[in-house]
């Protein structure tokens, strides 16, 4: 999953704003580099931000809808909408998005599950602890939160096969907790859902390596490889070309993925 950040204040410094030509160019480059999904988001989720203080649905719609409407005519891979607002998700799916990526796992707006159910698109439910950072037992807390999110999705009518889980590295966890999540990722298999891992360029890598976001590609690669070894089925990344290579090599070792000549 290649990340197309439209928010101008993205933590990773790659926000494209309303420059649709730049969005299209980036998406096409990601696909040429091997991306299977393009994830479009219009609101920053950088560390320390309070989404309740910047909740501007109209501004988010103004960024993501024109981009999605253009992308569906320019690319052939699925488009994911990165939002926790049902109004944005609904408009995005109508515009052509075929997956919803909810960083709050239905905590902020449970109505987003109805959008997924009514439109038949897959939904990614992320474990987000920013509302109550856990002091101990991080895996138990993440699994419990994801179980609750899965239950809400089921109650709304989302098919079992359309539910994907993400432990949510960052998002209210400490450095040690984030490292523990990657190391113990296989425990999420008990949920019976595909696992997405999103460690790309995150502060956990910066804190370990003492590097800015744009220099965290090797650290990201380590987390991706270990994540795949521990059961990750999807990875959400900024550096697509490099991470596609890491994924293919990791799959060849761990899952005996097919290697082309």
> Known catalytic residues?
202, 236
* Whole-angstrom distance, CA of residue 145 vs CA of residue 168: 11
Provide the CB-side half-sphere exposure for 36 (13 A, CA). Answer: 9
Burial of 151 (0-12, 13-18, 19+ CB in 10 A): exposed
- For every residue of 35-97, DSSP letters joined together read -S-EEEE-S---TT--GGGS--HHHHHHHHHHHHHHHTTT--S-EEEE-S-HHHHHHHHHHT-
Residue 213 sits at the vertex; the CA angle it makes with 212 and 219, to the nearest 5 degrees, is 95
Q: Which tokens is 178 given? A: 């984030």
Of the candidates 108, 119, 130, 116, the residue with the CA atom closest to the CA atom of residue 50: 130
Collapse the DSSP code of 111 into the 3-class scheme (helix H, G, I; strand E, B; otherwise coil) and give the result.
helix
Answer left, alpha or beta for residue 249, where phi above 0 means left and psi between -120 and 50 means alpha: alpha
Please give the Cα distance from 236 to 39 (Å, whole number): 8
Longest dimension (CA), the chain: 52
The SS3 of residue 195 is strand
| Residue 52: both structure tokens together | 């309740």
């Amino acid at each position: 999953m290649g990340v197309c950040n439209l928010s101008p204040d993205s933590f990773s410094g790659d926000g494209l704003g309303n420059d649709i030509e730049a969005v299209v160019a980036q998406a096409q480059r990601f696909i040429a580099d091997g991306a299977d999904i393009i994830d479009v988001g219009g609101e920053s989720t950088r560390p320390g931000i309070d989404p309740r203080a910047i909740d501007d649905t109209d501004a988010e719609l103004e960024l993501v809808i024109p981009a999605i409407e253009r992308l569906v005519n320019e690319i052939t891979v699925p488009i994911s909408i990165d939002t926790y607002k049902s109004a944005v998700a609904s408009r995005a799916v109508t515009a052509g998005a075929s997956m919803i990526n909810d960083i709050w796992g239905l905590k902020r707006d449970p109505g987003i599950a109805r959008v997924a159910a009514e439109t038949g698109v897959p939904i990614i439910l992320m474990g987000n602890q920013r509302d109550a950072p856990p002091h101990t037992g991080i895996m138990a807390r993440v699994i419990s939160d994801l179980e609750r999110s899965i239950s809400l999705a089921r109650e709304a009518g989302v098919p079992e096969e359309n539910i994907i889980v993400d432990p949510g590295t960052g998002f209210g966890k400490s450095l040690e907790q984030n490292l523990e999540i990657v190391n113990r990722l296989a425990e999420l298999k008990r949920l019976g859902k595909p696992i997405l891992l999103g460690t790309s360029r995150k502060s956990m890598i910066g804190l370990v390596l003492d590097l800015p976001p744009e220099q965290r590609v090797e650290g990201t690669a380590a987390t991706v490889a270990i994540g795949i070894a521990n059961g990750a089925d999807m990875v959400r990344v900024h550096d697509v070309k490099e991470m596609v290579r890491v994924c293919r090599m990791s799959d060849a070792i761990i899952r005996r993925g097919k290697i082309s000549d």
